[in-house]
Amino acid sequence: MSPVLSSVQPLRRALALALRLGTNAQTGSGYAAAENRRFCPAVSSGVAPLRASSRRYSSGTAPLIRQLFESESCTYTYLLADTETREAVLVDPVLETIDRDLKLLQELELNLKVAVNTHCHADHITSTGLMKRRLFGLKSAISKFSGASADILLSEGDKIAFGKHYLSVRETPGHTDGCVTLVLGDESMAFTGDCLLIRGCGRTDFQQGCAKRLFNSVHQKIFTLPEHCLVYPAHDYKGQTVSTVGEERKFNPRLTKSLEEFVNIMNNLNLAKPAKIDIAVPANLVCGLHEV
Ligand SMILES: [Fe+2]
C-alpha cells in the first residue's frame, strides 16, 4: 500500500493551498490552455490564510461532503473533507467541471490529497490528470485492475485517508474489471461508482463487463453493508441523488432478482454505445490526458 494511503502528512494548510492553487503548468493542448486561462483570474486573487475556526462549513466530527453534478454525462463527483485538518478527497471528477471543482476547493479552503476514479469511465473524461497539473502534490488513484495509470493503484482493503477519516476500497468488478466501491470508515456511506446505481446498475456489455461478476460484487460487497448506509452512485439519469443499502436491497429492480434472471436482463438491454467511448477510454487510461 502506498504511504499516501496509510498515513496522512501533517497539514501545511494555507501555505500549501496557496502554493498548489498557484501552480498552473502548461499542458500543451488547446483545450487545457483554455481551461487554464479561465481558471487563472480566480486563483490569482489570492487565498486567505486558513483560520483555526474554519469548521463553519460543517459541524461535528462527520466529514464534509458535497455532491456535484456534470449534466452532459449525468456524472456525480463527490468531495469529501475533514472539517478540521481540511484534507480532502475527490471522487470521479470530470474534465468539463474542473474549474467549478477547483473553485470550490479554494472557497472551502481545502487541501486536496487524492483524486480517485471508481473505474475507467467510458462516457466522460476524468479531470484527475489536469487537476494534478494545477494542484501541487495531488495524487491520482484508480484500481490496479483498471489497466489505467495513476499515482496510486488501489487494491481490496486499501484506505484513502483524509484527516481523521478514510475511504476503504472494496473491489466490485462486473461493469469493468477495475471497478471499486469506496466506503467511509464508519460505513455510513458508500460511493458505488457504476457498480450499483439508484434502482439500477452499470451496464455489462463492454469494457470487460460481466453480469455475473457484477451481481456477485453487489451482493457480497455492497448489500453486506449496514441497511442505513447511504449509496452514492457515479451517475443518475432520473434526478435521484442518494439511496441506501436497505432501499436497494428491497427495491432495485435488477438486483432483487435471482442471478439467472439478472444475467438475462443485462444481456438484453440493447443499449447504444456511449457517445464518447472512443475518446474517453484512451484518455482515462492516462488520467484523462490523452490528446486532450
Ligand atoms: Fe462506467
Mean residue pLDDT across the chain: 84
Report the alpha-carbon angle 3-170-244, nearest 5: 125
Instruction: Look at residue 102 and tell me whether its pLDDT is greater than 70.
Output: yes
User: What is the reported pTM?
Assistant: 0.81
172 has pLDDT over 80 = yes
Half-sphere exposure of 3 (CA within 13 A, CB side): 1
* Range scoring the smallest mean pLDDT among 19-23, 64-68, 221-225, 252-256: 19-23
Distance 141 CA to ligand 1 centre (A): 16
pLDDT for residue 61: 86
Ligand 1 centre distance from Cα of residue 143 (Å): 13
CA of 268 to the centre of ligand 1 (A): 18
Query: Would the CA dihedral through 188, 88, 147, 200 be positive or negative?
Result: positive
- Per-residue model confidence (pLDDT) at position 48: 38
CA–centroid distance, 274 to ligand 1, in Å, is: 10
Distance 88 CA to ligand 1 centre (A): 23
Q: Ligand 1 center to residue 160 CA distance, Å? A: 21
Distance 199 CA to ligand 1 centre (A): 16
Q: 221 C-alpha to center of ligand 1: Å?
A: 18
Least confident stretch, 55-59, 207-211, 268-272: 55-59
Taking residues 228-257, what's their average pLDDT? 98
pLDDT, mean of residues 63-77: 97
Averaged pLDDT for residues 81-102: 98
46-56 residue pLDDT tens? 333 334 344 44
**What's the gap in Å between 213 CA and the centre of ligand 1?**
15
Cα–Cα distance for residue pair 156/143, rounded to 1 Å: 9
Task: Tell me the CA–centroid distance for residue 195 and ligand 1, in Å.
Answer: 8
Q: What is the average pLDDT across 258-272?
A: 95
139-143 sheet: strands from edge to edge: 64-70, 75-81, 87-91, 111-116, 139-143, 152-154
Q: Tell me the HSE value of 150 on the side-chain side, using a 13 A CA sphere.
A: 34
> Residue 201 Cα, ligand 1 centroid: separation in angstroms?
10
**Local structure of residue 49 (DSSP, 8 states):** P
Q: In the predicted model, is pLDDT for residue 208 greater than 80? A: yes
Query: Nearest 5 degrees, angle CA 66-CA 202-CA 158?
Result: 60
Cα 237 to middle of ligand 1, angstroms: 13
Average pLDDT over residues 47-66: 58
Q: Which domains does the chain have, with CATH numbers?
A: 3-49+61-284 (3.60.15.10)
CA 43 to ligand 1 centroid distance, Å: 32
Interval 80-89 mean pLDDT: 98
| Distance between start and end Cα atoms, the chain | 30
Please identify which residue in the block is written with the cell numbers 471508481. Answer: 118
Report the pLDDT averaged over residues 227-248. Answer: 98
Distance 6 CA to ligand 1 centre (A): 27
The residue behind cell 486532450 is 292
> Residue 202 C-alpha to ligand 1 middle, in angstroms?
7
Dist. CA 232–CA 11, nearest whole Å: 28
pLDDT at 24 over 70: no
The mean-pLDDT minimum among 64-68, 99-103, 227-231, 273-277 falls in: 273-277
pLDDT of 50: 37
The pLDDT score that the predictor gives to residue 274 is 86
Predicted local confidence at residue 78, as pLDDT: 98
Q: In angstroms, what is the span from residue 100 Cα to ligand 1's centroid?
A: 22
- The pLDDT score that the predictor gives to residue 291 is 56
CA of 121 to the centre of ligand 1 (A): 4
- Return the pLDDT at 287: 87
Distance 133 CA to ligand 1 centre (A): 24
**Residue pair 142/129 in contact by the 8 Å Cβ criterion:** no
Mean pLDDT in residue range 274-287:
90
Q: Is the per-residue pLDDT at 166 higher than 70? A: yes
Alpha carbon of 80 to ligand 1 centroid (Å):
21
Quote the ligand 1 centre to 277 CA distance (angstroms). 10
The SS3 assignment for 102 reads helix
